[in-house]
Amino acid sequence: MFSGSIPALVTPFRDGSFDEAAFRELVDWQIESGSSALVPCGTTGEAATLAFEEHFEVVRICAEQAARRVPIIAGCGSNDTRIALKNMRKAQEMGADAALVVPPYYNKPSQAGILAHFEALIDGCDLPIVLYNVPSRTASDIQVETMAKLAVHANIVGVKDASADMDRISAQRAACGEDFCQLSGNDYLTLGFMAMGGSGCISVTANVAPSLCAQFQAACAAGQFDHAIELNDRLYPLHSALFSDASPGPAKYALAKLHDWVGEELRLPLTPCSPESRAQIDAALEHAGLV
């Protein structure tokens, strides 16, 4: 259902509030640069610091500005099943085409609890779901057997896999079927992920280098791995630099260097990236040919 380069969009702020004008510019630039879908209000979008009304205003603006040019996969996860369901229903109302949903964080449910959580969401809303498996952030892992049980539901359309476990790709392909959409959640692993049967990447780097990321994904999809390796070599220092400090601080710093319409403002507890991180980002942008 989804493929290619899919940026997990930053949420621009100005003087503490959502910067709608900058976000509209970002959406247009991403689509014009070849991004194949957009993810508002994920981790990179600082969803944890957005109030409910603000969160879904971002989703609404994203869908409105995209104007059906690409699909919108809205971040909807919560560690409370009732809130996750409320989020999905609101995202659907605001024009989202799918929901990106993590397993419950902090609670540390069993696999039975994770299964029951997602089945309750399926029963309560018909918006398609992309699972988001990111154990490093949630302390909760959708294991392969559980994912296979979820994949039989038509509304579970794929996974953003940020487990960093490359064995999972083949195991999930065998358990969930070849048509189950697997999207990389780690830019630095995406070359190998694609070679093993991935469909694309929900990417932090694509915020900053959307055209290069789209070209990379097109090369992988065409089986042109020599060209994909060349592009990956250009992008790899940027993949690393964008996590040289707490994300999305580095991505916002890089975007602000490239465009005068967006700032690097973050919300606490995130703080601006360090001088060492900035130097690494500056070098990576130059290496990629972006400055």
**DSSP state for residue 274 in the 8-state scheme:** P
Contacts of 118 (CB under 8 A, 6+ apart): 101, 103, 129, 131, 150, 156
Closest CA to 290 of 263, 241, 250, 255: 255
279 neighbors 287 (Cβ within 8 angstroms): no
Using alpha carbons only, give the angle 280, 166, 204 rounded to the nearest 5 degrees.
Answer: 35
**DSSP state for residue 74 in the 8-state scheme:** E
Q: Which of 90, 132, 252, 253 is catalytic?
A: 132
| Tokens representing residue 196 in the block | 């093993």
Cα separation, 234 vs 224, whole angstroms: 16
Cα separation, 124 vs 82, whole angstroms: 10
**Residue 160: active-site member:** yes
Residue 199 in 3-state DSSP?
Answer: coil
Q: Which of 90, 149, 160, 252 is catalytic?
A: 160
Catalogue the active-site residues.
132, 160
